[in-house]
Amino acid sequence: MIDQQTINQIFETADIVEVISDYVTLKKSGSNYKGLSPFTNEKTPSFFVSPAKGIFKDFSSGKGGNVVGFLMEHEKLTYPEALRYLAKKYNIPIEEKELTADEIQLRNERESLLAVTAFARSFFRDQLGTAEGKAVGMSYLRKRGFRDDIIVKFEIGYSPEDRKAFSNEAKKKGYRQEYLVKTGLSIAKEDYLTDRFHGRVIFPIHALSGHVIGFGGRTLKADKSIAKYLNSPESDIYHKGKILYGLFQAKKSIVSEDKCFLVEGYTDVTALHQAGITNVVSSSGTALTNEQIRLIKRFTNNITIIYDGDEAGITASFRGIDMILEAGMNIKVLPLPDGEDPDSFSRSRSASDFLQFIKENEKDFISFKTHILLEDTRNDPIKRTHMITDIVRSIAVIPDGIARSVFLKECSMILDVEEQVLYNEVNRVRRQKLEQRWKTEGTEPPQITVPQQPTVPSFVEEVYSEYEEREIIYFLLKFGNQVVRLSSENNAEITVAQYIIREIQNDELEFTNLVYKKIFEDVKDIIEHGEPIAERTFIYHDDARIRDLAVDIYTSRYELSKVWKRKESYVELPGENLGFEVPKSLLSYKMKVVDSALSDLRKSLEKLEKSGNLTGLNDHLQRIRNLERVKRDLSVSLGGRTVLR
């Protein structure tokens, strides 16, 4: 359990811009920062971070919150996990006793799996220092030219040849067999556990947060019947199609260089880092996925794929290129000389020589793809036709019309095909995809759930008025500290919050929305103690619903409201004329209450008349007349009389 004082210190210390910059490329925009949403695949930035308020708001997905909320949403961490992550990042000590085996069992499954992989990372790393680790694991790394700083940076380790070494040590430390098996680190036999990665050099796989979520193991045996590389199986924390090896170590460099190099294997990544090229990641030998592409796009829109001389592998990668194009990214391709891979090629050259080679030899995908395909189709018209169609289909997935046009022009010149013919084919392909999408969506239309409206009760105090209540809460939080003057009270000064609270209490009104009601009560308590309304009070409220609403209000874009007046040359924005806006919001709320009460009274009156029961008839009529008079007064006020100035 983390005490409240430590939690407060974490919130006060954590820099939300710095934390979110580990996951999203942020650019300064006035006093705020903006970037592409990490939650949706958008092309126009709608993700905003306010360092002054300590909050983020993603307008494309509607998500928002404080720095802890971001980590919980993005990394799927629990509240305690997010706090521990920030405490570790900012060197804030948390006094927690070492967990017993029973306590580990009580923690949720994700925390338990991460605890197991964290222990495994330390175990494998320490094994490099043992006699066997030095003789076998470190010997291999030295032969491959690994420096100490790279071994430390990527936390490379070694798993002993003893098939039970890791599993026995983990059980001895109190880690449950269930989680050892679920992470894939151990394999359950009839009556014992065996180590999946025994006798291998270990490459930990990190999530963006730095947590180790899986491992890759490289065998040191020459036996071809043994897989050269072995990866962790899929688990609740590791999904190979959603992770890129080296991204945790490369993300800052990718942002600063505004470019990402994509290679195939673990050693390709480490070798390039050793050569001084640090903006590089690997798909770990798996086919590129949309999730991996979106990961890269969070940090840059420019990607260069580095291939070795294996032409069969290059041809198989064309699908991945199309997926990158469809994501709207700028893609270059760099084929290495025959017999070379990024590991061997980088070790034979300096970083500057390698970068110069990249500059001189990387190609756009049209030049690359046509060069590869032309070799097989040069003397075969039918194959050539298929090749042109293949390239056109790649161009057709590009979302930007100008980029498509440029590539079509280049393709026309290279293939000696009329540009208009290519345009027609691209349009046909795009139209075909749109029709297919329409058919798919048409057969399974999205289901829209319409919430049931609550029954309006027959008394005034509990009239359902969601819109009006929210608007009052908006002014209460957003402008509550601002001072206005009462024209009806000799220009007496009062804050917006004091005015709203006074008006609501004078009429003995009560919010029906429980979240709004709680905020109103909290603000009232703050005002009664003579304190200003602090944004942090609600952004870091212990009620998640209030936190979400506060973030939404404090980051809301300017929108028109039904009570804000329209002038000939412009429309006033919220806060420009509080002397008009706040009273109008309150009057609209009161009008809703009165209208509802009148409706209920008239229905009740009709029932009395039909039943012939005249008891209470006069009382109903009197209440109706009183409310109609109140309604006329409200109508006059809503017609333009200003209460504040």
| Same-domain check for residues 486 and 420 | no
Length in residues, the chain: 645
Full domain range(s) for residue 192: 104-238
E strands in 233-362: 260-263, 280-282, 302-307, 330-335
| Same-domain check for residues 483 and 594 | yes
The count of structural domains within the chain is 4
Residue 258 lies in a domain: yes
Residue 308 lies in a domain: yes
| Same-domain check for residues 335 and 436 | yes
| Same-domain check for residues 335 and 419 | yes
| Same-domain check for residues 274 and 349 | yes
Residue 498 lies in a domain: yes
The region of weakest confidence among 131-145, 240-254, 468-482, 621-635 is: 621-635
Q: Which of the listed residues 62, 89, 116 is the one where a domain comes to its end? A: 89
Q: Which of the listed residues 238, 260, 292 is the one where a domain comes to its end? A: 238
Q: What is the dihedral sign for C-alpha 336, 342, 343, 347?
A: positive
Output the pLDDT for position 183: 94
Residue 4 confidence (pLDDT) above 50? yes
Nearest to 86 by CA among 27, 26, 154, 6: 6
Output the pLDDT for position 129: 93
Output the pLDDT for position 616: 63
| Same-domain check for residues 465 and 379 | no
Q: With 0-12 CB in 10 A as exposed, 13-18 as middle and 19+ as buried, what is 360? A: exposed
Residue 448 lies in a domain: no
Output the pLDDT for position 603: 80
Q: What is the dihedral sign for C-alpha 317, 323, 326, 327?
A: negative
**pLDDT range class, residue 161, cuts 50, 70, 90:** very high
Give the residue-averaged pLDDT of 467-477.
88
Percent of the chain topping pLDDT 90? 23
Output the pLDDT for position 166: 96
Output the pLDDT for position 217: 94
pLDDT digits (tens, 9 = 90+) for 545-589: 888 888 888 776 444 344 444 433 333 455 656 777 888 888 888
Residue 230 region by backbone torsions, left for phi larger than 0, else alpha for psi between -120 and 50, else beta: beta
| Same-domain check for residues 373 and 497 | no
Q: Which of 185-194, 376-385, 441-450, 583-592 has the highest mean pLDDT?
A: 185-194
**Reported pTM:** 0.59
Residue 397 region by backbone torsions, left for phi larger than 0, else alpha for psi between -120 and 50, else beta: alpha
| Same-domain check for residues 378 and 272 | yes
What mean pLDDT is reported for the chain? 80
Residue 419 lies in a domain: yes
| Same-domain check for residues 184 and 305 | no
Residue 615 lies in a domain: yes
**φ, ψ dihedrals at 186, nearest 5°:** -125, 150
CA atoms within 13 A of residue 237's CA, in its CB half-sphere:
30
H or E element: which one contains 173? Answer: none
Centre a 10 Å sphere on the Cβ of residue 433 and count the other Cβ atoms it contains: 13
| Same-domain check for residues 275 and 423 | yes
State the Cα torsion 352-357-359-365 to the nearest 10°: -140
Please tell me the distance from the alpha carbon of residue 642 to that of residue 488, in angstroms, as a whole number.
Answer: 10
| Same-domain check for residues 299 and 431 | yes
Looking at residue 131, which CATH number applies to its domain? 3.90.980.10
